[in-house]
């Protein structure tokens, strides 16, 4: 059961919980020390699911050869609110002191390996300095995204004023922990075309939804379907590491899906949803009944409407194969990028070391002007020009000239003709929701699925998450917005799963995104739509700065380059519901000189 295949096959059923030995004691206990019952519905029938009770192990490290214990510091070496990376001889751990207590956990973010000691500690959790993922210091559990795994947690003891850490050598090496999950090893309640949970889309929203269900003890059938030929993968890398192999960017290996009985139907397109009969209809005529449904279909790239758009070397980057093909065609050749979007600019940056020439065509005057503002946009433009990227601004493509079916030239409305051996279109995307037009599911004028704070649509039991939704953003007084961020899709998938299980959990996360070009990472948090001013601190020409985006005297978003972890700190402040006023920005000069972020503590109303 589980894994990647064309259509499901029924098998005999038992229910089992996978409990890794090292995790049994801490994972199966609720805060009061008792096993926590879980209630869910299968085929519309309420069931109670109880994790088997085990006593908390006095010694969770059963393989003594895998255990290391070391004295790492004196109790007075750390003040409250401080973190330190400590070496146990065979690996490092993050030591944290908060409210007089010491905690020890993995020191690297499981997402991309960021050093958490450089992150932000606040109210019992540490936030990654690079991409904003958050981890509970008491349990190591991931509480905000991106990423799928939690941190390993290690034992701490105090003896004679010294702090000792006892840890698993293996955990010190892996620096990650997959949470305990339930699994279903039989399907006697189902036929080939019936499932309890159907997830349409296998991006981060769909995968996190499936994993969260299993983490919460859900042990009925889960089916994910995707038009892609691959299991879920790290899609942002398609424009940042374009010659990657699918296995290199897979979010989980095939064995994971088999282990936890998460079925993935690849190259399967849903063309209609029958709400009344709770049925999804596939392109090949196959139908699948469901009890709960998650719509996580993502977006579809916009295409050009000009002559020649069908030429074989014109691409939207939708798959690993697309990205690989572009790199091959561009090597030592001429590449043209249409659209100075995040995808377009990341592709342009990646190709500069491989292509003979890289040109970018953009309708606006400055890249990212609407998102980052003119000053930041011009700084980015200069960085690209210094890396020999040629820009053609305030113009459009009038024709893609081809010869024998292959693109040869890109003709601009300005009259300029660009030699092109490959062309990448990056002019934005539309929600992939066309198949829902006759379903009755509420969508806005742009085609985004409208959901509430629990990611539920206007139909009970039908949820939506990811790039295709418009949801209430707590940060902006619950204004319905679409935020196509990798981090946000993770969280929306989790919220949807919890509410499939009737937890009543509302989404309240702060948006966090990043982009990387020429070795420079731009981090961003908040929601800056409609900003009326940008306050910049630092040296924008040297690409070492922070930009505060304000509206009506309030900071609504922040971007930075080479000033970690300020964006993560601001995300924590915003997440706590505290406003940052324009007048609060000036003290940031202190941070620019000393790295002291205490000016943010307690700021705002």
Nearest residue to 346 (alpha-carbon basis) of 104, 603, 91, 519: 519
Quickly state the pLDDT bin for 366 (edges 50, 70, 90).
very high
Please answer whether residues 146 and 490 qualify as being in contact, where contact means their C-beta atoms are separated by less than 8 angstroms: yes
DSSP character string of 330-371:
HBTSEEEEE--SHHHHHHHHHHTTTBSEEEEEESSSSTTHHH
Q: What pLDDT score was predicted for residue 187?
A: 62
- Order of strands across the sheet that contains 125-127: 120-122, 125-127, 134-136, 142-144
Nearest residue to 85 (alpha-carbon basis) of 52, 39, 142, 129: 129
- Order of strands across the sheet that contains 279-282: 270-274, 279-282, 287-289
Please answer whether residues 558 and 549 qualify as being in contact, where contact means their C-beta atoms are separated by less than 8 angstroms: yes
Place of tokens 């949803």: 273
Percent of the chain with pLDDT over 90: 83
Across the range 81-106, mean pLDDT stands at: 97
Q: What pLDDT score was predicted for residue 594?
A: 53
Assigned token pair, 205: 């929203």
Q: How many CB atoms within 10 Å of residue 45?
A: 9
Q: What pLDDT score was predicted for residue 566?
A: 94
pLDDT at residue 560 above 90?
Answer: yes
Quickly state the pLDDT bin for 592 (edges 50, 70, 90).
very low
DSSP character string of 544-581:
EEEEEEEETTEEEEEEEES-TTHHHHHHHHHHTT---B
HSE value, Cβ hemisphere, 13 Å, CA-based, for 374: 4
Cis peptide before 561 (omega within 30 of 0): no
Quickly state the pLDDT bin for 62 (edges 50, 70, 90).
low
pLDDT at residue 66 above 50?
Answer: yes
Place of tokens 């499939």: 500
- Give the C-alpha separation, 431 to 511, whole Å: 19
Nearest residue to 155 (alpha-carbon basis) of 176, 179, 171, 135: 171
Across the range 522-536, mean pLDDT stands at: 96
Pairing mode, strands 397-403 and 120-122: unpaired
Quickly state the pLDDT bin for 595 (edges 50, 70, 90).
low
For the chain, what is the mean pLDDT? 88
pLDDT at residue 558 above 70?
Answer: yes
Across the range 566-579, mean pLDDT stands at: 94
Tell me which of 185-199, 215-229, 300-314, 473-487 is least confident. 185-199
Q: What pLDDT score was predicted for residue 185?
A: 67
Q: What pLDDT score was predicted for residue 416?
A: 96
Q: What pLDDT score was predicted for residue 190?
A: 67
Across the range 267-285, mean pLDDT stands at: 97
Condensed to tens digits (0 to 9), the pLDDT of residues 385-413 reads 999 999 999 999 999 999 998 999 999 99
Condensed to tens digits (0 to 9), the pLDDT of residues 223-273 reads 999 999 999 999 999 999 999 999 999 999 999 999 999 999 999 999 999
Quickly state the pLDDT bin for 8 (edges 50, 70, 90).
very low
Nearest residue to 153 (alpha-carbon basis) of 19, 25, 54, 64: 25
pLDDT at residue 36 above 60?
Answer: no
Quickly state the pLDDT bin for 452 (edges 50, 70, 90).
very high
Percent of the chain with pLDDT over 70: 86
Rounded alpha-carbon distances, angstroms, from residue 572 to 521, 556, 577: 20, 13, 9
Instruction: Identify which has the larger pLDDT, 547 or 59.
Output: 547
Nearest residue to 243 (alpha-carbon basis) of 315, 320, 353: 320
Condensed to tens digits (0 to 9), the pLDDT of residues 106-133 reads 999 999 999 999 999 999 999 999 999 9
Condensed to tens digits (0 to 9), the pLDDT of residues 148-189 reads 999 999 999 999 999 999 999 999 999 999 999 998 866 666
Condensed to tens digits (0 to 9), the pLDDT of residues 539-555 reads 999 999 999 999 999 99
């Amino acid at each position: 059961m589980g894994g990647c295949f064309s259509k499901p096959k029924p098998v005999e059923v038992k229910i089992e919980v996978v409990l890794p030995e090292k995790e049994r004691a801490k994972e199966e206990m609720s805060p009061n020390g008792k096993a926590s019952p879980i209630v869910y519905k299968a085929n519309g029938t309420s069931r109670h699911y109880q994790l088997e009770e085990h006593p908390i192990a006095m010694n969770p490290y059963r393989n003594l050869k895998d255990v290391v214990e070391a004295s790492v510091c004196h109790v007075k070496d750390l003040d409250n609110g401080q973190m330190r990376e400590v070496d146990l001889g065979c690996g490092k751990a993050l030591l944290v002191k908060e409210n007089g207590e010491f905690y020890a956990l993995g020191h690297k973010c499981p997402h991309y390996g960021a050093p958490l000691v450089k992150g932000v500690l606040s109210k019992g959790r540490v936030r990654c300095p690079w991409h904003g993922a958050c981890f509970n210091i008491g349990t190591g559990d991931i509480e905000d995204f991106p990423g799928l795994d939690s941190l390993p947690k290690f034992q701490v003891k105090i003896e004679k004023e010294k702090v000792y850490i006892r840890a698993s050598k293996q955990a010190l090496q892996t620096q990650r922990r997959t949470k305990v999950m339930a699994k279903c090893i039989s399907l006697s309640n189902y036929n080939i075309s019936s499932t309890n949970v159907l997830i349409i889309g296998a991006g981060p929203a769909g995968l996190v939804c499936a994993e969260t269900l299993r983490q919460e003890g859900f042990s009925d059938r889960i089916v994910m379907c995707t038009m892609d030929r691959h299991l879920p993968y790290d899609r942002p890398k398609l424009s940042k590491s374009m010659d990657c192999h699918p296995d290199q960017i897979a979010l989980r290996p095939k064995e994971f899906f088999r282990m936890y009985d998460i079925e993935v139907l690849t190259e399967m397109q849903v063309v209609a949803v029958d709400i009344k009969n709770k049925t999804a209809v596939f392109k090949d005529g196959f139908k699948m009944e469901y009890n709960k449904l998650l719509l996580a279909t993502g977006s579809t790239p916009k295409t050009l409407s000009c002559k020649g758009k069908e030429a074989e070397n014109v691409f939207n980057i939708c798959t690993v194969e697309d990205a690989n093909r572009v790199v091959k065609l561009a090597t030592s050749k001429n590449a043209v990028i249409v659209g100075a979007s995040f995808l377009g600019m990341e592709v342009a940056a990646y190709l500069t070391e491989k292509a003979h020439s890289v040109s970018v065509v953009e309708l606006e005057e400055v890249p990212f002007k609407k998102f980052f503002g003119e000053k930041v946009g011009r700084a980015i433009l200069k960085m690209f020009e210094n890396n020999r990227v040629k820009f053609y601004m305030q113009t459009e493509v009038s024709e893609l000239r081809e010869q024998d079916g292959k693109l040869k030239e890109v003709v601009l409305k300005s009259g300029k003709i660009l030699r092109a051996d490959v062309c990448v279109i990056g002019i934005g995307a539309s929600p992939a929701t066309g198949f829902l037009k006759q379903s009755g599911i509420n969508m806005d004028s742009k085609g985004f699925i409208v959901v509430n704070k629990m990611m539920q649509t206007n139909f009970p039991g039908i949820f939506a998450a990811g790039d295709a939704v418009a949801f209430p953003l707590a940060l902006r007084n619950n204004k319905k917005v679409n935020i196509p961020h990798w981090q946000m899709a993770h969280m929306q998938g989790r919220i949807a799963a919890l509410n499939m299980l009737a937890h009543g959990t509302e989404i309240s996360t702060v948006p966090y995104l990043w982009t990387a070009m020429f070795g420079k990472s731009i981090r961003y948090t908040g929601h800056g739509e409609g900003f009326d001013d940008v306050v910049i601190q630092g040296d924008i020409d040297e690409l070492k700065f922070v930009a505060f985006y304000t509206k009506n005297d309030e900071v609504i978003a922040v971007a930075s380059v080479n000033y970690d972890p300020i964006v993560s700190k601001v995300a924590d402040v915003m997440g706590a519901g505290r406003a940052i006023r324009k007048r609060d920005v000036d003290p940031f000069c202190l941070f620019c000189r000393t790295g002291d972020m205490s000016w943010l503590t307690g700021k705002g109303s």
